[in-house]
Structures are given as C-alpha cells and as structure tokens.
Structure 1
Amino acid sequence: MFEPTTSSELDTLPKTSVVDYKKNLHRRRILIELYRSGTSSIAELARVIHSSVPSVTSIVEEMVEEKWIVPVGTGVTKQGRKPVLFSLSTERYYVLVLDVNTHDTKVLVMNLKNEVVFRRDLDMKLEDSSKFLGALIEATEDVINESNIRHDDFMAMGISVAGLVDARKGFNFTYRSLNQGEQSFGTLLERHFKFPVYVINDTKATTLGEHRFGLAQGKDHVLAIYIDWGVGLGVILNGEVFQGASGFAGELGHIQVVPNGELCHCGKVGCLDTITSAASLLRRIKKGLNDGRISRLSGMDIEKIDAEIIIDAAWQGDSFAIDILHEIGMELGKGLSIAIHLFNPEIIIVDGIVAKAGAFITNPIEQAINKYCLTDFRSNLNVVISQLGQEAKWLGTQAYVVEKVIENN
C-alpha cells in the first residue's frame, strides 16, 4: 500500500532529522491504514508499513496518549496470546462534510470511523451567486453550533460540489461567483472557519468513496458514472483517482453526441448531458405526456413529476417510463464506449439518482457497450449499480479530507 522511503529523501536530511522523519512517516502510514481498514493489530500495522513491531508499538502508544488511537478489543488467533486491536478514536477530530448540489445542500459531521454523528438537510440549491456563499457560511455556522462539538475538535471541512473544480486551489470554474477575484471558494471558507477546507468535484468524491469503501475496493482500473442532474465520469487509473492537469478530467457529459441537438447549460450544443441526465429524463417524459403518450403518469400534475416518480413508474411496469430509461441507457452506453476504449476498465459503477432504476438503466448500457466496443475490451467488464448510493459521495469527501490532513501533518 505504501512506497518505501527512498535513500535520496533521507540523504537530504541532517542525521538528527532522519529518525524524526521516518517516525512521522510511520505515524502517517499507521493513521491511513487504520482509517481505511477500521481496526488492526500492531503486528499487522508493522507488516503493512514495513517497520518493526517495537517501533510500531512505541508510535501506537504515543498516539493513544494523544487520543488519535484507542484499543478496541482483541483479535482472533489460532494459538498464543490474542492480539490487541486498535482503531482511530471517535472522541476527537471530526470532519464537516458539505454535499452542495443543484437540488439541496446537506451538512454532516463525521468522525474518523466514517460515522455520521450530526446531519442537517438544507433547502439550499447551488447557485452561481455570492449570496449563496454567504448563506452557506451562515447555515454551516448554525450546524456547528447545533452539533455541540467544540470548534477545536474539527480537523477540517470537505465540500463536494458540482462543476469544474480545481481541488488543489479550491476554485470552482463553473460557479465562478463562489470565488472572489484571486480568492478561491475554498480559501474564503478556510479564512472564515479557521481550519483547513478541501473542495472536490462531486463525481470525483463519489469515485473516491467507491474506491476506498465500495465496489471499486482493491481495483486499479475503474470507471464510475454519476448520473444526476448532469453526467460525470470518475476514472481510477492504477489505483488512484485521475484528476487531469487542472482537476477537470472526466467531464463525459460534455462530449458532443448530437451535432444539431439541444443547447446545453454549458453553452455548447448536443452534449451527452442533454440526452442522458436526470434533467433530460424529466424533459423527455414531460414532452411525451404533453404529446399524448399513454402512461400511469398521465393523470399526475406534470410539474410535480420528478426523476424518482418516473423510476418508480418503471418499476411498476409503466412502458413509457421504461422506454425512456432504455433510450437514455443506450446513449450512456454509447458515450461510455469511448471511455472504455481509452481507459480499459475492469468495472463500471453506476451511481446518482438515475442509478435507482437498476436494471432498467444498466441493461441498455450493457447492450450499447456490446454494440459499440471491441470484443476484447468488454469480455471481462462488469457494469454494476453502486451499493453505497449517496453515501459514496460523503465517504469520498471524508476520505479526501482525512487523507489530505494526515498527509500534510
């Protein structure tokens, strides 16, 4: 899991610093291992981080005193003394996780065992407005106060948000009004709350959540398609989330598929988003109903129909809803075929609100892949629905924050 320390790294340090350097490196690796695995014994930690049992014992004892780590019982062994198991403490070091999207905002407080200890769902839709930033800060302050957790116990904040996000600097280049001149969205929040703030694109957060805790665990080459009000693609290459030069990699929704198609919200014409997103699903259903298509949805107030109602109708056998989902799945599969030829994944994970359609969306995706992909690319490829659902995004945001904080300290 971890690369060994290179001799060149150590050669640049004075002799008095080498011991401290290696010790701090081992501390970080122990924390990361416990975060990802949940529990571990000293012997297991020593094996994973390539260190001796006495060295790891000393470091673990220090971190127990610092309340980073706690003993949680004993493990199973065939003979001899049962090993003591350790995990990260849940009594200190919380992360604020903000899920900011175009239909609502969720603010969660999570501990280092990925448990949600406090949550508020807010009727705040992502807007390209400086007023939205002010409202978000105010609402987050309220959540901190309501949680009864001391400000000093928050180690950082993580924000998953739609748009072109430069995670390194915290800028959102789609919702530009969240930034102020040379100050990024993330920097503005960091200066207000006085602890580190990390911003990540929502699809990449979902992909990271799947890789750390979901169906992509242990896999090196993965595509995660996030079908919500837009369409995003997360890419795992060689076991890491692929960011691209500016952090924008994976905007599958903005490849052109219909040259004379509809105008996309990005300003281009005929993007995949315009025919495969949840917003497109709603438009196509409403147009069909207005044109007289027969459906169990026909008797409803057309303005009250949403994506979940359409998907529920499909599960109840509504042929119109099933037909539209099939068309969307075929177009998604056609778009994914391009990515499959580029990245050669071993698994495709479908997530987002449209994933609730299950086989009604994955079957046509697979049909399109069979039609448009070379045989050798699809012979061992699986298309699956996420088992984590919306939690993948929260877990991915949390993992991004925890790993960054540990890496930087």
Structure 2
Amino acid sequence: MPASEFDSKSKKVVRSLYHGKNSCATISAEVGLSIPSVQKIINALLQKGWISESGVGISSGGRKPATYVLNANRLYILCVAMDQFTTRVGLTDLQNNFVTPVHEFELKLHNNVNATQDLVNGIALYLKLANIDSHKIIAAGIAMPGFVNEADGINYSYLPVDDGHNLKEYLSEKLKMPVFIFNDSNAVAQAELKFGLGAAFQEMMVINIGWGIGLGMIINGKMYNGYSGFAGEFSHIPLVKNGQLCTCGKHGCLETVASLIAVEERAIKEMREGLYTTSLTALGRKITAQDILEEAGKGDRFCIKLIAEAGYHIGEGLAILLHIMNPQVIVLSGKGAAVGKLWLAPIQQAINEHSIPRLASFTEIAISELGNNAELIGAASFVMENIHSITITE
C-alpha cells in the first residue's frame, strides 16, 4: 500500500487486527471510527493484500458478520527481551508467531560501559543469521530492566550513550530502523493484557519474578505507568530490616530477600556453611538460580524451601498493594514463574496473614500461560501500540 494511502486511520485498523481477528463493527467500536469508514479501509487493505477474510463472527440476530485477520508475513517485528545478565532476540509476524528461533546471548548490564554496543552487536548478529529482508521489519521493540522513560527513550539505570543521542535514537541509528524501548515488567504486563488474562480481567497486577521483582499494573483495562513513567518499582518497597544494601542504594528492599539473585545467594551461602543437598551438590559447580528453579520443580526440599521463603516475602509486599489497588487478579510471570505453583501457597499465606480478609477474598492469584516469551511478546505488542508513529511503505 502506498504511503499516501496508509494513513493514521488505516494504522488504527491494523493495530486492532494485530491483537486478533475482528469484525468491522468490533473494529469500529475499538478505534472510534464509523462502520462505513472502517469498511472502506478494510476493502483497501483486502485489495492490497494486507488482510484476509477469516470466517464469520457471532451475531445477536440476523446475518453473521465477516471477520478479518492480518496476513502474517506482510511485516515482521523485531522484539528484544533483556535482563541483567542475558538478552533474548526474536522476530514475530503480524499474527504474533515467532518466525525464527529465539536467540539468546550473554550481556551483563551492571557497571558495563560497553553494554549498549554489545546490545547492538548481538542484535546485528541475530539479524544476519535470521536472513530476513530488513525492509520487512517494521520496527524493534526492546524491553529492558531499569528506570525507563519510554516517551523520551532514556534508561536511567543501564545502557549508557555518550554521543548526545538518547538511547532510543542511538539504537535506531545503529539498527537502521525505528526503535521503541520499554521497561521489562511493563512489557510482561502488556503481553498479559493483550494476549493473556487481559480478556477476562480489567484490574490486574502482573508480577515479573526475575533477578528483581517487577510489577506491571493494569487499571480499567489499560497500562498504568504513573506520572513520570516509573510506577511499579515493587522490588524497592522497604520491606525488611536486614541492613542489606540493595542495588538501588537503599537498605531492606524486597529485592534483597525475594529476587532470584537473593535466592541464589542464599543457596550458595548455606551450602558454603555446610548444608548438603543431593541434587545441587551433585552439580559440582557454582549454583545458579536456574538450577534452583529446576531442582525445585523436581521436588528438592531445600530448593522448595528457598522458593517458599522468597514467595512469602513477595506475599507480604502484595498484601500492601492489595489494600491500595484492590485488583481482580495477581498474575505471576517472568523467569521464576516456570515453577509457578510453588509460589502460590507461600504468597497466599502471607496475603492471608497481612491483608484484610474482605480484600484478599476478592483477588485471585494466577500463573501466566505465556511462559518465557511473555517479555518478547509484550515488546512486539508495544511496537504495534506505537504504529501511529511509524512510516509504513511498500
């Protein structure tokens, strides 16, 4: 479709269809355009091969409406999911399918002055191996930890840039495509909102259990970022008086007792002091958080105990948020959610002990069904949320 035809109204229709097949009437209600206007756009998109008919929808009476779906391979989205130690890169089509295997590489963020260039190099290598026509990639969505100002394209915690650009501009210049950056926990929540439990719940707290304890908040069916964009720093609630210094520079944060880093450090310390556990000791090397998650899933009592202790502290923090937010559901996601059921009992116990029963009884705790790709899916979804600012040409 020529750029002159692909106007803002057409982009709204494409954004609506990205999140699933829809009828003309449903798209009209979602994007705020009249049904005749939407039908005209749909006809143009059909003619140019951007969308196809996909059966019929449900009717409350009379003829069932036709539904439409985006043609998957028309464009691709580069999605990147970062944590403090590793970065994962994938490429999705317009039906949210991964078109190449997800590539993972090590990239330490803390005190790494070369982290930004390392990120560019890792993405460039992935694109070379993927062998995809770069002109078909609409943009890159990069989810990352830290204090991320999504609007201004700045990460105040990691990925330094020295040449006068902000991070978003720098990455866009190096990768030669539009780039959008997002907080990792917001990306996980976005995935849940658009492709997970968002269809069933309008008020959600999505907990990103990883090297930190992130939080994405969904209020009235929309992402909530706060006034300056930094809402959801759940990791840094001052929860315990352990005197332990947190990465944020404060003491006693939730992160110091409940993050996967804290769980890993606790295991190493206890084993150094003489604790013997068959599964972990048999590894014969330094223990990692991934080892603990895997062995906990296999029933190792020590690993389960570590998860339970961290889970209880998370529950204590959630009890505070319950009294403020009163969500319909708390969704557990992120790297740690691989052993999701093991978190449920200790989290629920803490909530029961520290929350007003009337509040706690109306909040469900669920495990995300999106798995380890939630952050990547959320990053891709955020790109489509910003499609209005992307020039689309053929």
SS at match of 1:119: coil
For 2:235 and 2:87, how far apart are their aligned partners in 1?
22
Q: How many residues align?
A: 387
Contact 2:178 2:390 in 1 (8 A): no
Which residue of structure 2 aligns with residue 375 of structure 1?
357
97-106 or 145-154, larger mean C-alpha shift: 145-154
Preserved CA contact (<8 Å) 1:351 1:389: yes
Secondary structure (helix, strand or coil) at the match of 1:342 reads: helix
Structure-2 residue corresponding to 1:385: 367
Displacement of 1:219 in angstroms is: 2.0
**Cα distance in 2, alignment partners of residues 47 and 168 from structure 1:** 27
Query: Structure 1 residues 306 and 95 mapped into 2: Cα distance closer, same or farther (>3 Å)?
Result: same
Q: 1:298 to 1:356 in 2, by over 3 A?
A: closer
AA in 2 matched with 1:159: I
Please say if residues 315 and 351 of structure 2, whose CA atoms lie closer than 8 Å, have aligned partners that are also in contact: yes
* Match status 1:141 vs 2:121: no
Q: CA contact under 8 A between 1:332 and 1:365: conserved in structure 2? A: yes
The equivalent residue for 1:16 is none
Give the whole-Å Cα distance in 2 for the aligned partners of 1:64 and 1:312: 48
Determine if contact 1:172/1:179 at 8 Å carries over to the other structure: no
User: What's the counterpart of residue 266 of structure 1?
Assistant: 248
Tell me, yes or no, if structure 1 residue 196 matches structure 2 residue 171.
no
Consecutive unaligned residues in structure 1, runs of 5 or more: 1-19
Distance 2:59 2:220 in 1: 34
| Aligned-pair CA distance for 1:51 | 5.3
Post-superposition shift, 1:63? 1.8
**8 Å contact kept, 2:184–2:375:** yes
Please say if residues 230 and 277 of structure 1, whose CA atoms lie closer than 8 Å, have aligned partners that are also in contact. Answer: yes
What corresponds to 1:331 in structure 2?
313
Instruction: Give distance in 1, aligned partners of 2:251 and 2:164.
Output: 31
CA–CA distance in structure 2, aligned partners of residues 286 and 368 of structure 1: 25
Structure 1's 189 and 320: CA in aligned 2 closer, same or farther, altered over 3 A? Answer: same
Cα distance in 2, alignment partners of residues 159 and 167 from structure 1: 10
Residues 90 and 291 of structure 1, relative CA distance in 2, 3 Å threshold = same
Offset at residue 124 of structure 1 (A): 2.4
Distance 1:91 1:386 in 2: 27
Q: Residue 73 of structure 1: CA displacement?
A: 4.7
How far did residue 343 of structure 1 move?
0.9
Distance 1:50 1:182 in 2: 39
Q: Which residue of 1 aligns with 2:203?
A: 221
Deviation at 1:407, TM superposition (A): 6.3
Q: TM-score, normalised by structure 1?
A: 0.86
What runs of 5+ residues in structure 2 fail to find an aligned partner?
Answer: none
Note closer, same or farther for the CA distance 1:47–1:363 as it changes in structure 2 (3 Å cut).
same
Q: Give 1:44 shift.
A: 4.2
> Shift of the alpha carbon at 1:111?
1.1
Residue 100 (structure 1) aligned to one of 79, 82, 92:
82
Identity value in percent: 31
The SS at the match of 1:232 is: strand
Q: Which of 182, 205, 215 pairs up with 1:233?
A: 215
SS in 2 for 1:216: helix
- Give the Cα separation in 2 of the matches to 1:198 and 1:158: 5
Q: 1:277 to 1:169 in 2, by over 3 A?
A: same
| TM-score, length of structure 2 as denominator length | 0.89
Shift of 1:89: 2.0
Relative contact order: is structure 1 or structure 2 higher (C-alpha 8 Å, sep ≥ 6)?
2
Post-superposition shift, 1:50?
A: 6.0
Q: Distance in 2 between matches of 1:145 and 1:214?
A: 31
Q: Secondary structure at the match of 2:290?
A: helix
3-state DSSP of counterpart to 2:371: coil
Contact 1:100 1:126 in 2 (8 A): no
RMSD, aligned α-carbons: 2.7
